[in-house]
Structure formats: structure tokens, C-alpha cells
């Protein structure tokens, strides 16, 4: 099989296994894409971790802890896939900490209130599950297979988030205000989440069928699924231009793509602090890895 035949094979829905031949460019694109996903799962627990001790009830603490465990578990599964493609987990973590590798924009922001925790679990996870569901048909089969488990667990997180939001919305005016403020803070990053609306034919990740949906398609799906759910609670989406056209297409204010670029290249409001936390915890747990490997040897 040559590169052109491989491209036709994956475009026709063909899937590739770990031992199969693949073009170097495909392998490189896979590693970059999947590694960023793994980094995002791992960094994504930090904004939530900050709230475990401050969660309002024991039940909420347990649920949040479980979510953090799930997300770290996802990063382990995902790094495992990257490792099989040729990049060791140690290297992924080193590149993450040094700032060389990227992670999703939404995990660079602070978690100001408990309202933010609800919005993250509900809407950030909803946005993420849309991208992840499209990966169930990824041309790289080992990645597609673990996505089944990941999507399944994300659905619990959305439930948890929705439950947090509904509880607040049924509470005092102050609690309702907390949710509205959090939504106002997160709407911009949420609209940037799925990326620039580059046409699928210009997106190499779509061409190799690593992703099976374009960025704008994912954003439209998100708006279609969640704006009505936001509205029905009496919340206001902070975008005066947001409306569904007669053709069924969502119109909205152009997201701030400069902010997206600035944030994911390591200049978000919490980027440095969270990477530093990652570096310290890696250093502090070094002895555990040594002991485990020594005992096993």
C-alpha cells in the first residue's frame, strides 16, 4: 500500500491497527492530535480539583472526585495509544510541562465559583463529548475503541453538571446569579472550543479521517443541543446575535480567535500556574514510580 492508496482506504472508512503500515505523516498527525487530547484530560482535572474541598455537600465532593478520577483515567488510556504510536508517556508529560505541547483552551481559565464547576461539567463536557463521539469512527481503530469508554463516562459528567446547575437554578436569587455569571464567563471559551471554521477539505486531520466532523459542524451541533436547554432555565446566553436562522443554522458573534490562539499557545490566565502544579506533583510522586518499578522488577 502506498500513501495515496492508504489515504483512499481511510477516506472510504477503512480502519488501521497498531501493527499496520501507515504513512509517516499520518502517524505524526495522529500523535499530535491524540497527545493533545491526553494532555487536555490531564490538565482538565485541575480546574475541578480546586473545588473538591469546597464542594457544598459530601455527595458533591464524591461525585467531583469520581469525575477527576475518570478524567485522569482517560488521559492514561489516551497516552497508552500515543505510546503505541511511538511517543513514550514520559516524553508526553515532559513536553506538556515544558509548554511545548498544547491542551484545550477551556482548561487555561480559572474556576471562580461553584457555578463555574457546574458550567464546566455540564457545558464544557457537552462540547467535548460532541468532538469525542465523532472520534468513535476515527480511522485509527485503537483510539476509536477507547473512545467508547470515554464517551460513556463523559455522559455521567454531563448528568452531574446538569444536576449541579438545576439545583442552583432552583435555589436563591444569589445562587441563580452565580450560574448566570459563570455562563457569562464561559460562553466565549465555549464558542472557541471547537476551533476555527476551517473547511473540512483544508483540514488534514479530517482528510486522514482522524476526525470525522468539521469544526463548525461540531459547534452547530453543540448550539443545537444546548442553547435550548440553557434558555429553558431562564438563563441568558451573553451573545445578542445568537439566533437560529430559518434554514436551521445558528448565527452568532464571531468568536475571538485571537484569544483562542493566545490561550492555547500558553498565555491563558491560569496556564503557568497549572503547568507548575503539574511539574511539582510529578516531582513529588517520582519516588512512587521508582518503588513500583523496583518492586515489580
Partner 1 sequence: MIYEVFRQERKGVAFEHAGSVAAPDEAFARAYAHEQYGRRGESVALWVVPRGSILEVEDFVDELNKNYHRVDGYSLKAKLKEARERAGVPAGGGNTR
**Residue 290 contacts partner 1 per CB under 8 A:** no
> Which span (21-29, 54-62, 277-285, 288-296) binds partner 1, by CB under 8 A?
288-296
68 binds partner 1 (CB under 8 A): no
Q: Rule CB under 8 A: is residue 288 a binding residue for partner 1?
A: no
Between the CA atoms of 136, 138, 139 and 140, what dihedral angle is there, to the nearest 10 degrees?
Answer: -90
Contacts 24+ apart (CB under 8 A), 257-266: 257/192, 257/196, 259/188, 259/192, 260/105, 260/192, 260/195, 260/196, 263/105, 263/108, 263/109, 263/189, 264/102, 264/103, 264/104, 264/105, 264/108, 265/102, 266/99, 266/102
Binding mask 145-174 for partner 1 (x = CB under 8 A): xx-xx--xx---------------------
Cα distance between residue 43 and residue 295, in whole Å: 29
Give the Å distances, CA to CA, from 2 to 23, 86, 168, 206. 8, 21, 57, 19
Q: Cβ 150 to partner 1, closest distance in Å?
A: 10
Q: Which is nearer to partner 1, 19 or 254 (CB)?
A: 19
Q: Which of 27, 89, 176, 279 binds partner 1 (CB under 8 A)?
A: 89
- Of 76 and 167, nearer to partner 1 (C-beta) is 76
Binder of partner 1 out of 65, 76, 91, 180 (CB under 8 A): 76
* Closer residue to partner 1 in complex, CB, 142/161: 142
Q: Please check whether residue 131 is in contact with residue 194, taking contact to mean a CB–CB distance below 8 angstroms.
A: yes
Q: Least CB distance from residue 21 to partner 1, whole Å?
A: 13
Please report, as ranges, the residues that interact with partner 1 according to CB under 8 A: 19, 73, 76-77, 80-81, 83-84, 89, 142, 145-146, 148-149, 152-153, 292-293, 295-297
Amino acid at each position: 500500500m502506498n500513501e495515496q492508496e492508504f489515504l483512499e482506504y481511510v477516506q472510504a472508512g477503512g480502519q488501521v491497527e497498531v501493527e499496520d503500515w501507515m504513512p509517516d505523516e499520518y502517524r505524526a498527525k495522529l500523535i499530535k492530535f491524540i497527545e493533545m487530547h491526553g494532555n487536555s484530560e490531564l490538565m482538565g482535572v485541575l480546574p475541578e480539583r480546586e473545588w473538591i474541598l469546597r464542594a457544598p455537600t459530601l455527595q458533591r465532593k464524591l461525585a467531583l472526585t469520581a469525575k477527576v478520577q475518570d478524567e485522569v483515567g482517560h488521559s492514561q488510556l489516551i497516552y497508552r495509544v500515543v505510546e503505541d504510536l511511538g511517543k513514550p508517556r514520559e516524553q508526553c508529560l515532559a513536553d506538556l510541562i515544558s509548554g511545548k505541547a498544547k491542551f484545550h483552551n477551556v482548561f487555561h481559565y480559572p474556576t471562580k465559583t461553584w457555578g463555574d464547576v457546574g458550567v464546566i461539567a455540564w457545558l464544557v463536557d457537552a462540547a467535548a463529548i460532541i468532538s469525542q463521539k465523532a472520534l468513535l469512527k476515527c480511522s485509527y481503530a485503537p483510539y476509536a475503541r477507547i473512545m467508547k469508554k470515554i464517551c460513556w463516562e463523559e455522559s455521567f459528567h454531563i448528568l452531574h453538571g446538569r444536576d449541579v446547575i438545576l439545583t442552583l437554578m432552583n435555589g436563591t436569587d444569589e445562587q441563580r446569579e452565580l450560574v448566570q455569571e459563570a455562563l457569562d464567563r464561559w460562553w466565549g471559551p465555549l464558542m472557541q472550543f471547537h476551533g476555527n471554521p476551517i473547511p473540512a477539505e483544508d483540514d488534514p486531520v479530517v482528510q486522514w479521517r482522524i476526525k470525522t466532523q468539521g469544526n463548525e459542524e461540531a459547534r452547530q451541533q453543540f448550539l443545537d443541543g444546548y442553547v435550548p436547554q440553557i434558555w429553558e432555565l431562564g438563563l441568558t446566553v451573553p451573545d445578542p446575535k445568537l439566533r437560529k436562522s430559518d434554514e436551521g443554522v445558528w448565527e452568532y458573534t464571531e468568536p475571538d480567535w485571537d484569544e483562542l490562539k493566545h490561550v492555547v499557545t500558553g498565555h491563558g490566565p491560569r496556564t503557568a500556574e497549572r503547568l507548575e502544579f503539574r511539574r511539582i506533583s510529578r516531582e513529588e510522586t517520582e519516588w512512587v514510580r521508582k518503588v513500583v518499578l523496583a518492586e515489580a522488577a
